[in-house]
Amino acid sequence: MTILNSTAEQRDRANATAVAAMLESDPALVDVLPALEALPGMTRNTILTSGAPLAWSEYAGGQRRAILGAALYEGLARTAEEADALLHSGEIVVRACHDYACVGSVTGVTSASMPVWVVEDAASGRRGHCLVYEGSDRERLTYGVWNAKVHRRLLWIREVLAPRLAAAVRSAGGVRVNPIIRRALGMGDDLHSRNTAATAVLFHHLFGPIIDVNGYDEATREVLAFLSQNDLFFLHVGMATGKCIAEAAVGTPHSSIVTAMALSEKEFAIRVAGTGERWFRAGIPALDAKLFDGITADDIAFMGGESLITETVGLGGLAAAAAFSLQDYSGGTAEGMVETTKAMYGITHAEHPLWKIPFLGFRGVPFGIDASLVAATGVTPRIHMGASLREGGHAGAGLLIAPEEPFREALAVLEGRAVA
Amino acid sequence: MTILNSTAEQRDRANATAVAAMLESDPALVDVLPALEALPGMTRNTILTSGAPLAWSEYAGGQRRAILGAALYEGLARTAEEADALLHSGEIVVRACHDYACVGSVTGVTSASMPVWVVEDAASGRRGHCLVYEGSDRERLTYGVWNAKVHRRLLWIREVLAPRLAAAVRSAGGVRVNPIIRRALGMGDDLHSRNTAATAVLFHHLFGPIIDVNGYDEATREVLAFLSQNDLFFLHVGMATGKCIAEAAVGTPHSSIVTAMALSEKEFAIRVAGTGERWFRAGIPALDAKLFDGITADDIAFMGGESLITETVGLGGLAAAAAFSLQDYSGGTAEGMVETTKAMYGITHAEHPLWKIPFLGFRGVPFGIDASLVAATGVTPRIHMGASLREGGHAGAGLLIAPEEPFREALAVLEGRAVA
């Protein structure tokens, strides 16, 4: 890659271009497909996971467990030991979700037969993907747990839930996502830690097609119950949408607009539009979390996560002032949430013309994080995210304050002050 | 009725008793029945309407049109002229909803064959009722319009919607309302002008039973569409719930807690617990409303309304700080909504232990309006309400500031300073 030597003027113009491209997106849910069919470049022996990629030997916690679980789930190995050997030898490969037009929740582990949401911007044909939500049980592959119960649920998702959702979404001719997000922001969602309203609105779109196309049998009843009883069900639709939108800016020369933020077990990393697929990495700061009863700070550990794509497109922590009910779930105060969103206007390039925050007089959410503004102000993105148990499982939720270094480093590369 | 001569101490004790009784209520939606079957004392030739009752000759606008429409709808007369004559002669009688364990929206016109929600407090068996919501078309009997289209919709509600809802509610074993209201307050509803979330939550409870009991035929599809496309559908459930709760305090000697607030075309009126069924009346102040496009202040006129029962139990204007999205619908500012709710704590006796406002750190809604506090402070209830077109139809929504006189007069009667 060449050294860019972007001037401030070039950067400003490029940022306007990048953000305009993102805002032009009109993403729609168009299908649910196995990852192998949906993701460009996906293979049967590829396992995707969250964050800037690490060597297999560096994964030690929840991501390692989930990757091994996925290898067994796909029948790539008969035992965890065999899977480990194949991962060391490279016969099973671990790749970053973000390189496959995909994002993953927590461990983000996505393998060939797992069904993903397909979200498409009709005008450009650009697509973003994310696994179908795995349910609210604390034990799930998403949260680094692999056991017989997790296996059974994944099979139900693949064999029952996904085909029925796919048929419904297709028969509905797709479901536009921008209006759902707009409506949910008016009903107390931040679209990251809280998706209660968006899930209900999506349900209104899908229940009719689900029944009409699949018939009202026992399996359809299970599907409807799953959709109506999991308040975070919409999260993965929103994540695929975020990826679809953010991709519009990728590769805009000179632009310092953030196109990805992601966590592995060990690192926080970002990409900016002007440096394409390069990751800028740092260690992970502490998560200020409200934990479920009986869980202490010693019990939790990072195991990755790319739901930060919601913050990348102005939601989650950036839209904190829309979601005061999160106090119950992830802690904080209403005043703090208002201050969080207000601070985010200082590091973003625009205000979304459709996604609005009632408390702020329907001001648009702060949209398009600009690494140059982060570097200039020292204010970094505020991120709403789930906490995970060291040994696997969902532990609570809280606020993560992104580290400053990756934003500074990205800017230095754009300005030719560091090796590109 | 005797002069009470309540002392302040007697009143305080009585108010604690009255509010405790209201808060003990655990209302549940248990049935949908024709008004004739559900309402104690109802007859085939009785037509109920909103507000403290007036003589038939005093109704001149929307209430008059709706009462005449109901007479035709019930087959009590063949022409409006004949109905008018029968209403003058007393062969058709007009009564106040509140005297029949019922409340009505806007004109509130409720006749024998119209289906009403039945909301019951299981422990006491106490019931409140309200018509099933008529839909969001601007033209409806609720808003003073009687024509062939209104007639057809009322028949569909009676013949299709109501029996299917009734069967579903019964088969579900009833639906408890307190948790729905609690959840909706966390999703941006005030439960008066905004019921978007409560409607969605109720839908989650009912869609399964509706299909299971009635089958998934074309009529059931229409019912599901009606429920999922009318954001105010829950309002009438909330009103029946408010009546069920408020009735718990009626007749508590010495108590100055408000048990009803209601509008006719011409008057604002209240009841307090210690004076039973007596109305304290005043003229109606101006409504500060945001009107639909193309409608001006000259086009609107009062035509009654008892949805103020929601304010009577701590919702609506009292819970304004839960519903910032109302700025779009009824105007105002977020700051104004916070100030409104804060002011209401000054004239209420308690904070609801379950119904909470996220923005205020989950403080309970101000509950139990105390006429003695209104008289002492000069602060009166802030009421969210719909605006109606002079010639009939829905025109917008806004904020009504209750007049002070009825609260002062009620207190004077309780204290023996005025004739009881």
Query: Mind listing the pLDDT tens digit for each residue in A167-186?
Result: 999 999 999 999 999 999 99
pLDDT of residue B245: 98
**Which of A187, A203, A329 to mutate to probe the B interface, most B CBs <10 Å?**
A187
Question: In the 8-state DSSP scheme, what is residue A157?
Answer: I
**What value, to the nearest 5°, has the Cα angle with vertex B68 and ends B65 and B70?**
110
Asked whether B103 and B240 are in contact (CB, 8 A), the reply is yes
> What's residue A348's pLDDT?
98
pLDDT at position A3 = 55
Residue B363 contacts A where some CB pair is shorter than 8 Å: no
List of chain B residues whose C-beta atoms are within 8 Å of the C-beta of residue A196: 187
| Distance (Å, whole) CA B377 – CA B99 | 30
Note whether B359 contacts A334, CB cutoff 8 Å. yes
In chain B the domains, ranked by start, together with CATH numbers, are 8-17+254-414 (3.90.1700.10), 28-239 (3.90.1710.10)
pLDDT at B393: 86
Instruction: Search chain A and give the residue with CA nearest B194.
Output: A187
Q: In a 3-state reduction of DSSP, which class is residue B387?
A: strand
Can you give the pLDDT at residue A329? 86
| Residue B5: per-residue pLDDT | 84
A206 to chain B: closest CA residue: B228
Q: Tell me which residue of B22, B9, B5 sits closest to B273, measured CA to CA.
A: B22
Task: Report the C-alpha gap between B134 and B114 in whole angstroms.
Answer: 11
Q: Is the pLDDT of residue B419 over 90?
A: no
With CA atoms as reference, report the closest residue to A23 among A174, A248, A274.
A248
User: Across-strand partners of A384?
Assistant: A399
Residue A100: what pLDDT? Answer: 98
Where do runs of H (alpha helix) occur along A24-102? 35-38, 62-73, 80-89
Which A residues in the span 220-239 are in contact with B, Cβ-Cβ below 8 Å?
221, 224-225, 228
Please state, rounded to an integer, the average pLDDT across all residues of chain B: 96
Q: What is the DSSP string of A171-184?
A: HTT-EESHHHHHHH
Cβ within 8 Å of residue B247, ≥6 positions away: B101, B126, B128, B259
Determine how many CB atoms are found less than 10 A away from the CB of residue A391. Answer: 12
**SS3 sequence, B234-245?**
CHHHHHHHHHHH
Burial class (CB in 10 A: 0-12, 13-18, 19+), B152: exposed
Q: Determine the distance in angstroms separating the CA of A119 from the nearest CA of chain B, rounded to an integer.
A: 24
Task: Count the Cβ atoms, other than its own, within 10 Å of residue B216.
Answer: 16
Residues facing B32 on adjacent strands: B117
A401 beta partners: A382
Chain B: give the shortest CA distance to residue A306, in Å. 26
DSSP string for B146-167: -SHHHHHHHHHIIIIIHHHHHH
With an 8 Å Cβ cutoff, are A325 and B186 in contact?
yes
Q: What pTM did the predictor assign? A: 0.96
Look at residue B188 and give its three-state secondary structure: coil
Closest CA to A238 of A315, A124, A163: A315
Residue-by-residue pLDDT tens, chain A, 420 positions = 455 788 999 999 999 999 999 999 999 999 999 999 999 999 999 999 999 999 999 999 999 999 999 999 999 999 999 999 999 999 999 999 999 999 999 999 999 999 999 999 999 999 999 999 999 998 999 999 999 999 999 999 999 999 999 999 999 999 999 999 999 999 999 999 999 999 999 999 999 999 999 999 999 999 999 999 999 999 999 999 999 999 999 999 999 999 999 999 999 999 999 999 999 999 999 888 889 999 998 999 999 999 999 999 999 999 999 999 999 888 899 999 999 999 999 999 999 999 999 999 999 999 999 999 999 999 999 999 989 999 888 899 999 999 999 999 999 999 998 876
Smallest Cα distance from B320 to chain A, Å: 12
| Residue at A222: amino acid letter | E
Of B197, B221, B358, the CB nearest to A324: B358
Asked if pLDDT for residue B2 goes beyond 80, the answer is no
Of the candidates B207, B324, B360, the beta carbon closest to that of A358 is on B324
Q: Which residue of B has its CA nearest to A212?
A: B216
Provide the token pair at B366. Answer: 């101000």
Chain A residues in contact with B186 by the CB 8 A cut-off are: 188, 325, 328
Task: Collect all residues with Cβ–Cβ distance below 8 Å to A255 and sequence separation of at least 6.
Answer: A11, A14, A15, A17, A18, A249, A272, A273, A274
Contact A188 B358 (CB under 8 A): yes
Please state, as a whole number, how many other Cβ atoms lie within 10 Å of the Cβ of residue A26. Answer: 17
The distance of A177 to chain B (nearest Cα, Å) reads 18
Nearest CB to A197: which of B197, B228, B327?
B197
Query: What whole-number distance in Å separates Cα of residue B42 and Cα of residue B56?
Result: 18
List, as one string, the DSSP characters of A246-305.
Answer: HGGGTT-TT--BEEEEEE-SS-EEEEEGGGTT--EEEPPPPEEEEEPTT--GGGB----B
B window 312-351, beta carbon within 8 A of A: 324-325, 327-328, 333-334
ipTM of the complex: 0.94
Which residue bears the tokens 């905004």?
B194
For Cα atoms A5, A9, A12, give the angle at the middle one, nearest 5 degrees: 105
Closest CA to A102 of A188, A56, A40: A40
Q: Which of A186, A328, A360 sits opposite B362 (nearest CB)?
A: A328
- Tell whether B10 is within 8 A of chain A (Cβ): no
Is A201–B203 a contact, with Cβ atoms under 8 angstroms apart?
no
Cα–Cα distance between A291 and A297 in angstroms, integer? 8
What is the dihedral angle through the alpha carbons of A226, A229, A234, A237, rounded to the nearest 10 degrees? 0
φ and ψ at B355, to 5 degrees?
-90, 110
pLDDT band at B4 (very low <50, low <70, confident <90, very high): confident
pLDDT band at B392 (very low <50, low <70, confident <90, very high): confident
Q: Residue with structure tokens 């609801």?
A: B352
* Those residues with Cβ within 8 angstroms of residue A401's Cβ, 6 or more apart along the chain or in another chain: A285, A288, A380, A381, A382, A383
- pLDDT (tens digit, 9 = 90+) per residue, B303-356? 999 999 999 999 999 999 999 999 988 889 999 999 999 999 999 999 999 999
A287: β partners: A400
Phi/psi for B387 (5° steps) reads: -105, 145
Q: Is the pLDDT of residue B100 over 70?
A: yes
Report angle CA B296, B300, B306 to the nearest 5 degrees. 140
**Phi and psi (nearest 5°) for B271?**
-120, 150
Nearest CA of chain A to the CA of B31: how many Å? 23
Q: Which of residues 285-314 of A touch B (CB under 8 A)?
A: none
Interface check for A360 against chain B (CB to CB < 8 A): the answer is yes
pLDDT at B76: 98
pLDDT of residue B370: 98
Q: Which one of A206, A220, A228 makes the best mutation probe of the B interface by having the most chain B beta carbons within 10 Å? A: A228
Coil/strand/helix, residue B183: helix
Residues of B with Cβ-Cβ distance to A354 under 8 angstroms: none
